[in-house]
Amino acid sequence: MSAGPGRNGSTNGSAKGLLRSSAKGLFRGRGQQANGPGGGSGNGSRRTGGLARSARYSAFSLLRHGLPGSAEWPRAWRTHELRDSYDVVIIGGGVHGLACAYYLAANHGITNVAVLDKGYLGGGGSGRNTAILRSNYLTPEGVRFYDRSLELYRNLAAELNFNVMFSRKGHLTLAHNDSSLRTMHWRAEVNKLQGVDSSVIDPDEIKKLVPYLDTSAATRYPILGALYHPPGGIIRHDAVNWGYARAADALGVHLHQQTEVVGIDASKGQVTGVQLADGRRIGTGTVLNATAGWSTLISDMAGVRMPVQTSPLQAAVTEPVRPFLDAVVVSGTLHVYVSQTDRGELVFGASVDPFTSYSMRGSLDFIEGLAGHVLELMPALSKMRLLRQWAGLCDMTPDYSPIMGLTPVEGFYLDVGWGTYGFKAGPVSGETMAETIATGRPASLISTFGLDRFERGELVGEKGAAAVGH
């Protein structure tokens, strides 16, 4: 196995600090930068000493751009001409692909990277999820992995100089029967052993946190307790996608939208390039499959089969109301979860649809079932009006854990199988996959998530903590 693509000698790992630097804000990119749509040195980005400089967002810059006669804001990322070859090609322009591209450049100095998406950046699962964050999983491997992601999320706004609107609300997973309550105690103890703040609380404590929840014994599914996870919360998914895209572009990564991959070339077990829908070919020795919904189709192009099934996941949002819900509430028994955004909308979701499909249309059956279950938890919401519903695609694995790392085809890497929990892992997936690609070895945090675990029978069972799309 190769030790990963070649590095840019002019970037020695300090790029990450440069991104946060308000004084310099300089970025070292690999190769010549393509001009932006407006010509010149690229859609409004400044040039200093031959190095690209990204506009820094701050209260001062907001005031300066608000003055009469001030220059327009530069675009968040640029448009580049497609090169004939790249060191790394990432298929999928969601949070996983964008984060990997950013960390390849920031942490490892690998900037000759292309992110390809057949639609627009963040248009798949990364822009369709309900943006809930937590790390209170069931297995030690899962807890460590997601807790690192939550740590990265907490500092992401400062890291990327982009407000991702992280809101630490706390996360409640309700238990409606003795079996569920035992599972909550189990998860709480696993979490505590990994240093994660989780505990089981009783209905009285739940009522104090969420007064609108019906915690009486007269309901059809009485609430016996809950796993309370104070670090959990919500974030703005679009802001996360845009922040990573902007930061990766500033470091020299090329972002190509409306660029569909239809084939992956390999010779003697080694990736050599990708074929595009418009007939062009990109030469590369490293390809990362960071797609959702179509991950099996991409892997089939490289001759790599995966135990993945694709199912729709639906969600819905209400009209905005005055903030009243200070925690994320999840019920596995009722297959429903709810949170409130900063603007006041209630965001609802459920488990994946009970069939395999590539359809992303909403259904009346979903809304009827969702409404009934939400009202069992919070009867006071009966007069609220639903604004819209939507769906995304989820790639489900047998053990409800992702598939990450190397494959039998050298140079072809996987970051797939994320089910209903992929957005929570965006930063850590990008960080660990960047390390894996740069070194040619699986990062320690993802060593148990390899594709070969299914052959060995060493599954990482997370169904008890990830069976509902939250």
Beta carbons within 8 Å of 180's beta carbon, 6+ residues apart: 174, 224, 332, 333
Average per-residue pLDDT for the chain? 87
Q: How far apart are CA 284 and CA 137, in angstroms?
A: 37
Which residues are paired to 415 by β-bridges? 404
Q: How far apart are CA 238 and CA 287, in angstroms?
A: 25
Q: Which two tokens stand for residue 299?
A: 């892997």
Q: What is the pLDDT of residue 248?
A: 97
Distances (CA, A) of 418 to 184, 294, 428: 22, 12, 13
The sign of the torsion formed by the CA atoms of 436, 89, 408, 292 equals positive
- Taking a C-beta distance cutoff of 8 angstroms, is the pair 177, 224 a contact? yes
DSSP 382: G
The structure's pTM equals 0.86
- Taking a C-beta distance cutoff of 8 angstroms, is the pair 393, 297 a contact? no
Q: What is the pLDDT of residue 464?
A: 60
Q: What is the pLDDT of residue 63?
A: 86
Q: How far apart are CA 376 and CA 336, in angstroms?
A: 11
Q: Residue 383 in 3-state DSSP?
A: helix
Q: What is the pLDDT of residue 27?
A: 29
Q: What is the pLDDT of residue 200?
A: 98
**For the chain, which residues score pLDDT lower than 70?**
1-54, 464-470
Burial class (CB in 10 A: 0-12, 13-18, 19+), 423: buried
Q: Which of 235, 231, 86, 110 is nearest to 160 (CA)?
A: 235
